[in-house]
């Protein structure tokens, strides 16, 4: 079976009907891989006008003419029509094919076959057509298998990105989902395709190409379900043959996938969430080094981000409660609306699986970092509240990285994402500076190591045991005391204690721990233990 829904000339010659005629290829034996889409038999001189291309033409040669000029014209017309091959049965008309026919077929690139024995053309036609129909059925089965996998992915909790990745893997090429007016919603790459064919780069080149002249190696399938003013189109699936050709079976699979997507897109705000997830995927790929600093600006422009000449500020917000899927679309819209008041270009995405909202903010200059971080953090929290995600067990953690160019943005996003996870459980702040949480990040990475829990128990175990049964608790006193670097007056003010009460509590802490709170090594150990207890897995 040929992958385009027919069979090859070689396969047709191997079937019993033609094989019984003792076929001999006399021209273009190297082109027997051509696709046969149909079989036609005829003896009229003008038979080329009755053909559409891709046929295997059977003839006894009665319509070929007797003069060399007529025979050359006959073969050239067939070659121009694009038939798959010409098969001539030897007999009363020809005992062997004229050299003119053979030379013309060879020059035109048309496979020419002569049959040394008589065969019933009707039997050959039925046999080849049956093979073609079976081949089409096999292609339909392959397309239906893709449809089944996409449906199972959705029923299993997957979303449109997973569906598009299944289609991309099937075609071996990037797949895009766009709005009816051509705006990119999501880009999926094939895991088996060309590693250098980044889908956003492909999309950037595709836009200009489609505006200039549509490509034969691009397939566009409408996703039905649009509302008034958009016709019946909700979105479009776009296949691009970058790593390999697009075949009819790929179109079949895309048409069935479009039906699956239509059902999903009927849910409110699906396009918004999909676009936000696409931006989130880009920012994550940038953070993890899958997109280089050189390629990032062009791909960011595809996603609508046009920063100025100043540094880029990486920011990551992490939510402890992911909430329903639809809330992410509301969150993305709400945050973007809130951020519009900051007056700076922003690229914001969502990563629902990790519960993260990564973004890049374009600064005019480095000194703006703190002021812009204040406004961005406030906008993020306002968006969380508007999306109904503010009732989580822990408030969202907003972490701001180091401002710089695209290379620094990559490292900054990765650092901020890791630190945002480690920041949960820390004292609530409007935002955290990633540079000041490196110790917490280190402790978080060690959270499951038994030595960390053992260290916490050795350092502050007696205080934890005391606080579990006695009042007042002493851990908050120690934590506040260390946070103020041992300054007793400031500690007493924050805890609303008189000095003597504070002195008594500090003495009790020293007694329980058997340590001197004025010893620098002791202070360092206790400070680390207090931070580690938020991350350590209990032993």
**pTM greater than 0.75 (yes/no):** no
Q: Are 406 and 297 in contact (CB under 8 A)?
A: yes
Which CATH architecture best describes the domain 446-532? Orthogonal Bundle (1.10)
| Extents of the domains making up the chain | 7-129, 159-266, 274-434, 446-532
Does the structure show a pLDDT above 90 at 361? yes
In this prediction, residue 213 carries a pLDDT of: 53
Rg of the chain on CA atoms, in Å: 36
Q: What's the pLDDT score for residue 390?
A: 62
**What is the helix (H) or strand (E) element at residue 151, kind and residue range?**
helix 121-155
Residue 210 has pLDDT above 80, yes or no: no
* Residue range 7-129, CATH number: 3.40.1390.20
pLDDT in tens, 244-260: 788 888 888 888 888 88
- Round the average pLDDT of the chain to a whole number and report it: 84
Confidence tier at 1 by pLDDT (50, 70, 90): very low
* 463-506: pLDDT as tens digits: 888 988 888 999 989 988 888 888 989 989 998 999 899 999 99
pLDDT digits (tens, 9 = 90+) for 377-405: 988 888 888 877 765 556 788 999 999 99
Encode burial over 346-366: b for 16+ CB neighbours within 10 A, e otherwise: bbbbbbbebbbbbbbbbbeee
Q: How far apart are CA 207 and CA 493, in angstroms?
A: 64
437-470: burial string, b at 16+ Cβ within 10 Å, e else:
beebbebbebeeeeebbebbbebbebbbebeeee
Region 2-25: mean pLDDT is: 82
Q: Which residue has the higher pLDDT, 212 or 131?
A: 131
Cα angle at 332 between 329 and 338, to 5 degrees? 140
pLDDT in tens, 421-431: 888 777 788 99
For domain 274-434, give the fold. Answer: Alpha-Beta Plaits (3.30.70)
pLDDT of residue 228: 46
Fold matches, 159-266 and 446-532:
no
Q: What number does CATH give the domain 159-266? A: 3.30.450.40
Res. 74: pLDDT tops 50:
yes
**Per-residue pLDDT tens digits for 139-178:** 778 888 888 888 887 777 677 888 888 999 888 889 998 8
In this prediction, residue 360 carries a pLDDT of: 94
pLDDT of 194? 61
């Amino acid at each position: 079976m040929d992958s385009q829904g027919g069979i090859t000339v070689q396969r047709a010659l191997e079937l019993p009907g033609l094989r019984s005629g003792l076929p001999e290829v006399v021209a273009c034996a190297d082109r027997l891989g051509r696709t046969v889409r149909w079989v036609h038999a005829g003896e009229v001189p003008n038979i080329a006008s009755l053909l559409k291309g891709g046929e295997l033409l059977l003839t006894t040669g009665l319509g070929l003419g007797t003069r060399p000029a007529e025979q050359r014209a006959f073969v050239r017309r067939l070659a121009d029509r694009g038939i798959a091959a010409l098969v001539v049965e030897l007999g009363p008309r020809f005992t062997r094919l004229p050299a003119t026919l053979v030379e013309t077929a060879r020059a035109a690139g048309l496979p020419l076959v002569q049959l040394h024995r008589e065969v019933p053309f009707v039997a050959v036609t039925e046999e080849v057509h049956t093979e073609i129909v079976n081949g089409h059925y096999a292609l339909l089965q392959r397309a239906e298998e893709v449809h089944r996998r996409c449906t199972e992915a959705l029923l299993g909790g997957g979303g449109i990105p997973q569906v598009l990745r299944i289609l991309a893997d099937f075609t071996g090429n990037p797949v895009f989902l766009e709005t009816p007016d051509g705006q990119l919603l999501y880009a999926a790459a094939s895991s088996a395709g060309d590693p250098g064919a980044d889908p956003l780069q492909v999309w950037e080149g595709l836009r200009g190409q489609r505006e200039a002249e549509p490509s034969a190696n691009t397939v566009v399938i409408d996703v039905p379900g649009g509302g008034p003013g958009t016709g019946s189109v909700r979105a479009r699936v776009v296949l691009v043959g970058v790593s390999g050709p697009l075949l009819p079976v790929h179109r079949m699979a895309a048409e069935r996938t479009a039906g699956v997507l239509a059902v999903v897109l009927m849910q409110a705000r699906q396009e918004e969430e999909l676009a936000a997830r696409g931006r989130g995927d880009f920012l994550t790929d940038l953070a993890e080094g899958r997109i280089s600093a050189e390629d990032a600006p062009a791909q960011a422009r595809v996603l609508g981000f046009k920063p100025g000449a100043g540094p880029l500020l990486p920011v990551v917000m992490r939510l402890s409660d992911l909430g329903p899927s639809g809330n992410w679309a509301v969150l993305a819209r709400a945050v973007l609306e809130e951020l519009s008041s900051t007056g700076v270009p922003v690229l914001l995405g969502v990563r629902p699986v990790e519960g993260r909202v990564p973004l890049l903010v374009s600064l005019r200059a480095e000194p703006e970092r703190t002021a812009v971080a204040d406004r961005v953090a406030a906008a993020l929290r306002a968006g969380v509240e508007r999306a109904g995600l503010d009732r989580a067990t822990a408030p969202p953690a907003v972490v701001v990285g180091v401002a710089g160019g695209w290379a620094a943005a990559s490292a900054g996003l990765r650092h901020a994402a890791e630190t945002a996870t480690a920041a949960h459980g820390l004292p609530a702040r409007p935002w955290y500076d990633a540079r000041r949480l490196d110790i917490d990040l280190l402790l978080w990475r060690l959270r499951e190591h038994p030595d960390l829990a053992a260290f916490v128990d050795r350092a502050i175990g007696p205080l934890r045991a005391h606080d579990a049964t006695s009042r007042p608790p002493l851990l908050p006193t120690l934590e506040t005391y260390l946070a103020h670097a041992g300054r007793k007056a400031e500690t007493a003010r924050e805890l609303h204690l008189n000095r003597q009460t504070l002195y008594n509590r500090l003495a009790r802490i020293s007694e329980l721990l058997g340590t001197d709170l004025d010893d620098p090594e002791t202070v360092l150990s206790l400070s680390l233990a207090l931070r580690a207890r938020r991350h350590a897995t209990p032993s």
